[in-house]
Every structure is written in C-alpha cells, then in structure tokens.
Structure 1
Amino acid sequence: MAGHWTRGAAGAVLAMAVAATGCSGNSGNPSGTASKAASAAASAASSLASRGADALASASAEARRKLDQAKGGVNAKDDVTLGTVAIGDDGKAAVKVTAKNTAGSAKSFAVQVNYTDKSGNLLDVVVVTIKDVPAGASGEGTARSNRKLSGEVRAVVGTALRY
C-alpha cells in the first residue's frame, strides 16, 4: 500500500541523478556515465523504498501486537471518532481519538489509527489505548505517528476494540 509513495520517491531520486548527469558536461562517455548514475540512483531509490516499507511493516506489526493484548475485545469501531489530523513541529501527525463506552461497566479501548495519503495509501499505523472509561462516558487519547509524514495526511479508524 505504501508502494505509491516509495515508487514516487524512487522516481524523484532517479530523475535527479539523470538530470545531474546530463548537466555534468562529461565529454568522456556520456552514456556510460548516465548508465552508472541511473544504476546508483536506482540502488538509492530501492534502499529508500525498502526503508519506508520496513518502517511501515514494523509499525503494522507493533499495532497487531498491541491489539492482541486486548483480550476478549469486542468491535467498538462505531463508538470511536477521530478529530482533525495536525502535523507537529517535529513533522509527526497527531489526531485526537474519542471512545464512547456504551457498556454497563468501565471498559478500556484499543484503537488502531491508519494514517493515509489523499489516495488512501497507508503511510503509518498507530494503536492508542484509552483505559478505564466509565460506563456511559467517553475517554480520549492522542494517536501520534511513528515517523514524519507530509502532504495531505488523513486518519481513519482501522480497528477499535472495547475490552
């Protein structure tokens, strides 16, 4: 899902390397130099894509681990709302998470927030826990992204468990 972002970054790195090679004025072997630059750019782009994919995979695995800790959890997605995404000075996204406890006793919530771009491509995954919300009341938490996000960032509830 993060493929669009990583392919876009890879293309930008490749374009910059090819443009720089074309302007270098190397009269020796321009096509050989361009080939080497393209190869180096492709390698750098692949590394960048791999790091982005690795970071997203790590965040997703951590989210699954946290959701697995909500033993006996029931689907509470309809009882969770998200505020507006804000990008902080550190470049990380944050969104307010509100969980309404419709159960007859105090409950906790584990809420997976998926950060996406405007096309719906997954950028990051975060789980926020809101503990001991009294019966009939609402509890709040803040979901902060694991890494810097830019562009039009949206937040959607992926999974919400009440336990």
Structure 2
Amino acid sequence: MANVRGVRGTAAALLAAALAVGAAGCSDGDGGPSDAASKAAGVLASATAEAQKKVDEFKAGTDAKSDVRLGDVTKDDGRATVPVTVTNKDSDAKSYLVLVAFKDSGGNRIDTVALNVNDVGGGASKKAEARSHRTLDGDISADIVRALRH
C-alpha cells in the first residue's frame, strides 16, 4: 500500500476548512444563504488552488496518466475506494502523484483524492488504493484527473 498521508491529509484539511467556513457563514447572521454560499465557494476555490499548488510543486514531473489504471469502485463503510495500479515503464525507480476524482451518476465530481505511490521499481508495478474523504451515496465512478511521474 502506498503512502497517502502527506498530500491527501492536506486536501482533507482544506476540504474540512471549506465546510467549516461554509457552515459558519450559514449561522453568522450577517448575511443570507447566498452570502454563505459565496463564502463557501471562495473557500473551495482557495482549496482547489492549494491542491493545484501541490501538483505544481512537481515541476520536474512527467505526465504519466498512461502508467496508471483504476479498478472498480467499491464502498467501505460508505466511503468509496478504488484500486490503483501504477506501472513504471522507465528503467529506474520512480514515484507518482495520482489525482483521482470520484463522480456521482450524473458525472459530477464529488470528491478528489491525491495519492502518492512511491518507489515503483523500473519496469515494475505497484498497487495502492484511493479512498474518498467522506461517505458518498449512490453509484460512484472514479477517473484519473492527473498523474505525474517524478
């Protein structure tokens, strides 16, 4: 199993902050629901920018989406999980940053997980698992948003 704590923990913290600010906006009495929605949208935009910043830190990373395969989405205590297989086509060991989006039956993105798959040997494959940050209802699918090899 790959180490997912670093970037995934950051993304989870950003999502929690976004939800907390959105909830606080609903109860502060200074504005109506549209004010709260605006605040939540701003925080989510900020969280998205922070996640993009993490991806941008891999300036030397190479697009490796073709090296990554997803299995079937299942649920574990309501949280969506999907097996991830990374195949390193290079001759030297490489590490990967994989962004996996969970989508509802309408194709709407409802959660995104950043997954580090470290030290995949040259010509070898390594398995990991992406797990949603929260309980997801209904039929869930998963897509690779981005994969970088570094």
Q: TM-score scaled to structure 1, two decimals?
A: 0.62
Partner of residue 123, structure 2: 136
Cα drift, residue 144 of structure 1: 1.2
Matches within 5 A, 1:82-161: 82-89=70-77, 91-161=78-148
CA-atom RMSD, angstroms? 2.6
How far apart in 2 are the matches of 1:103 and 1:161? 13
CA deviation vs aligned residue, 1:119-160 (integer Å, no higher than 9, x gap): 211111111010011100011211111121110110000101
Higher helix share: 1
One-letter amino acid matched to 2:143: V
Partner of residue 14, structure 2: none
Larger Rg: 1
Q: Secondary structure at the match of 1:64?
A: helix
How far apart in 1 are the matches of 2:129 and 2:66? 18
2:55 to 67, 81, 85: 67
CA deviation vs aligned residue, 1:19-50 (integer Å, no higher than 9, x gap): xxxxxxxxxxxxxxxxxxxxxxxx99869977
Q: Which runs of 4 or more aligned residues in structure 1 lie more than 6 Å from their structure 2 counterparts after TM superposition?
A: 43-52
Q: TM-score scaled to structure 2, two decimals?
A: 0.67
Cα drift, residue 65 of structure 1: 3.6
Q: Provide closer, same or farther for how the CA distance between residues 49 and 122 of structure 1 changes in structure 2, counting only shifts above 3 A.
A: farther
Partner of residue 33, structure 1: none
Q: Provide closer, same or farther for how the CA distance between residues 73 and 135 of structure 1 changes in structure 2, counting only shifts above 3 A.
A: same
How far apart in 2 are the matches of 1:51 and 1:58? 11
Matched, 1:81 2:62: no
Contact in 2 for aligned 1:56/1:125 (Cα 8 Å):
no
How far apart in 1 are the matches of 2:148 and 2:83? 17
Unpaired segments of 5 or more residues in structure 2?
1-30
Identity of aligned residues (%): 45
One-letter amino acid matched to 2:76: G
How far apart in 2 are the matches of 1:99 and 1:158? 14
